[in-house]
């Protein structure tokens, strides 16, 4: 490469760290920063760490911190005067630090950065990549893709104005980018087949992580530290504790499981609607552990001692939690939905719980199916070992940091040379 690429990531640390985007940034930046062909700058768009614009170098990465406005507002996708002004403010404050960078590629991750993307080319002759991490319309309508696609193609806005509006916004991110990266083929196909996005504007790059070093892990010591009894079986859910993650049917299934496996414990590592879980867990509160927010170090400790990992989501793309559990050799149960269906093969590297549909066409999970899968894994040592080995090997081959990082290097080189 003749000249270095200046990769500029716009990042709101007050929001994105909770939704997998933070892990994606952490892993990818740590890989790309070692390339001699790339300089990386992270623009923190609203920080409460500093009262004025601050820049520093940290481990080879330039950090630019834009302070929060005094009114506490932060970037949002809506096309309003306030949001346009906030985006302009971020660009203008970071401009003195970015204006002399050549071969600039601006990297956007979330819908909140839409107004930034709209204005960025007014200031810089840059290229733009957008990484699409998930479908936000699924927060509003819990239906099959084909149902939403049909209503979209027919222009039936009354089906869900919110779902249509947010999909239009995501399409604007795609339209404003030189390349959109999807984290699954499921998303790429939905863009091209159902939303009429040209396929040459899209590329799929699976998420990946640096494989952990599993040697010298004292699991017995970790169990004691976490107060876990010697006979207890840990069933681990990690991620946002939210209804669209299937947490309520999981709790209902766990209560059924206790009849046959009274030594089981359900651990939910994450923030969210914890009160709803407590209500659903009644009266087995002593068997359900809710952690609320955890540092990465503490999450890894739960991975180290988990007997089973479970992701019973109604919507998911290329889940970092799934990849991390695989890499920690945790046998997994997942719902057969969206990206998870693409990432896993039933009875090969996981057990899949089928997603079903009620009379209104809404997705649901049957607690009996979840309970049966948990019972099977707890009862069958051979199957547990088989799924663990296959899952670990697939993580190492397909969902590793090197695969992801090299693929991003190719995309960056490609769009700079266009």
- Supply the DSSP string of 235-291, one letter for each residue: EEEES-B-GGGTHHHHHHHHHHHTTT-TTEEEEEES-B-HHHHHHHHTT-GGGEEE-
Of all residues in the chain, the percent with pLDDT exceeding 90 is: 89
The predicted pLDDT at position 16 comes to: 47
Paired residues of 346 in beta bridges: 350
Handedness of CA 404, 405, 408, 414 (dihedral sign): negative
Could you tell me the two tokens for 203? 């590329």
- Report pLDDT for 14: 60
Percent of the chain with pLDDT over 70: 98
| Reduced DSSP (H G I as helix, E B as strand, rest coil) percent helix, strand, coil of the chain, to 5 | 45, 20, 35
Average pLDDT of the chain?
94
Query: How confident is the model at residue 13, as a pLDDT?
Result: 62
* Confidence check: pLDDT of 160 > 90: yes
Is the pLDDT confidence value at 18 over 70? no
**Mean pLDDT over residues 298-315, rounded?**
96
Whether 325 has a pLDDT exceeding 70, the answer reads yes
More confident residue, 50 or 17: 50
Output the pLDDT for position 71.
78
pLDDT score, position 2: 63
How many angstroms separate the CA atoms of 286 and 263, rounded?
Answer: 11
Whether the Cβ atoms of residue 40 and residue 10 lie closer than 8 Å to each other: no
Q: How confident is the model at residue 19 (pLDDT cuts 50, 70, 90)?
A: low
Rounded Cα distance, 279 and 241, in Å = 14
pLDDT reading at 342 higher than 80: yes
17 pLDDT band, cuts 50/70/90, is very low
pLDDT band, residue 15 (cuts 50/70/90): low
Whether 30 shows a pLDDT value over 80: the answer reads yes
Instruction: Of 157, 152, 200, give the one whose Cα is nearest residue 179.
Output: 200
pLDDT greater at residue 345 or residue 418? 345
- Provide the Cα torsion 227, 228, 230, 232; round to 10°: 160
Instruction: Dump pLDDT digits (tens) for 331-340.
Output: 999 999 999 9
Please write the tens of the pLDDT for every residue from 225-254: 999 999 999 999 999 999 999 999 999 999
């Amino acid at each position: 490469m003749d000249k270095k690429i200046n990769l500029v990531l716009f990042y709101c640390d007050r929001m994105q760290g909770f939704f997998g985007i933070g892990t994606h940034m952490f892993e990818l930046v740590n890989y790309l920063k070692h390339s001699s062909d790339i300089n990386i700058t992270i623009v923190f768009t609203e920080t409460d760490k500093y009262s004025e614009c601050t820049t520093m170098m940290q481990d080879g990465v330039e950090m630019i911190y834009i302070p929060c406005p005094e009114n506490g507002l932060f970037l949002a996708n809506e096309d309003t005067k306030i949001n346009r002004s906030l985006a302009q403010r971020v660009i203008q404050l970071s401009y003195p630090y970015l204006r002399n960078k050549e071969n600039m590629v601006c990297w956007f991750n979330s819908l909140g950065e839409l107004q930034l993307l709209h204005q960025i080319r007014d200031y810089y002759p840059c290229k733009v990549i957008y990484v699409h991490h998930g479908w936000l319309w699924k927060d509003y309508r819990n239906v099959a893709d084909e149902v939403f696609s049909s209503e979209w193609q027919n222009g039936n806005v009354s089906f869900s104005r919110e779902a249509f509006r947010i999909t239009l916004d995501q399409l604007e991110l795609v339209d404003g980018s030189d390349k959109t990266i999807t984290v699954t083929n499921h998303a790429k196909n939905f863009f091209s087949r159902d939303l009429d996005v040209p396929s040459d504007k899209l590329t799929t790059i699976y998420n990946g992580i640096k494989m952990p070093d599993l040697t010298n892990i004292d699991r017995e010591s970790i169990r004691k530290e976490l107060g876990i009894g010697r006979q207890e079986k840990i069933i681990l859910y990690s991620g946002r504790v939210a209804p669209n993650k299937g947490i309520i049917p999981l709790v209902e299934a766990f209560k059924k499981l206790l009849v046959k496996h009274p030594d089981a414990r359900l651990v939910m590592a994450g923030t969210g609607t914890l009160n709803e879980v407590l209500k659903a867990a009644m009266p087995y509160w002593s068997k359900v552990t809710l952690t609320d927010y955890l540092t990465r170090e503490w999450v890894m400790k739960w991975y180290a001692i988990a007997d089973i990992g479970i992701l019973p989501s109604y919507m998911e793309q290329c889940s970092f939690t799934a990849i991390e559990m695989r890499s920690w050799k945790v046998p997994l149960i997942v719902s057969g939905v969206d990206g998870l269906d693409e990432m896993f093969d039933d009875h090969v590297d996981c057990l899949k719980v089928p997603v079903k549909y009620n009379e209104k066409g809404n997705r649901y999970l049957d607690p009996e199916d979840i309970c049966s899968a948990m019972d099977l894994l707890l009862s069958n040592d051979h199957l547990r070992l088989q799924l663990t080995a296959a899952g670990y090997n697939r993580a190492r081959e397909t969902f590793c940091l090197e695969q992801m990082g090299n693929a991003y290097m190719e995309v960056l080189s490609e769009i700079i040379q266009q």
